[in-house]
Amino acid sequence: MYEVFVAEFFLTQTPADNVASVYPEFITRFPSLRSIRTADEGELADVIEPLGFQNLRAEALRAIAADYDDLPRSVDELSSLQRVGPYVANATLCFAFNRRLPIVDRNVDRVYRRVFDDRWPRTKSEQWETALELVPESDPKRYNLALRDFGAAVCTPDPRCEACFANKYCAYYQENVRS
């Protein structure tokens, strides 16, 4: 769970390529919360400096490590940790334990917004509720990873509609591309 948490924590407001360049060294040097707790003050920030926000991230990780030997396994407790919100909490628990939880980052929100158009809720809380209804009982991890990756690779801000399998269901395609 810790490794998944670190990846999701780092992916917040940071491109995946940047995280991939830092993640292996971070996990090697800090394989647990205990190792973060005992690290030198600047060592943590130095390793994650290429991600940006290194001081804020290091401070949050130190605060979490000061309070926990193992990360909490409930959404509420995990999302209450410093700089950890619903997305990081849900993604961590879904990807680590295949728990049926929604993830709504900007890529997933864009996919849902384009497919559902006016039927996609406007408020964050309603979006999370609707997203939960859409997550299948079987293999939610696979669903969420596929949806997130699809939003990053195909349903991008400048969409690649010609590569999309869902054009006949997509309100965006029907209204903006097909016509």
Q: Which residues are identified as catalytic?
A: 8
Q: Considering only CA atoms, which of 124, 55, 50 is closest in space to residue 87?
A: 124
Please give the angle made by the CA atoms of 25, 28 and 30, to the nearest 5 degrees: 100
Look at residue 153 and give its three-state secondary structure.
Answer: helix
CA distance 26 to 59: 15
By the 8 A CB rule, do 26 and 6 touch?
A: yes
> At which residue do the structure tokens 């926990």 appear?
68
Give the torsion sign (CA, 164, 170, 172, 176): positive
Neighbours of 95 (CB within 10 A): 22
List of residues 6+ apart from 49 with CB closer than 8 A: none
Contacts of 65 (CB under 8 A, 6+ apart): 33, 34, 36, 37
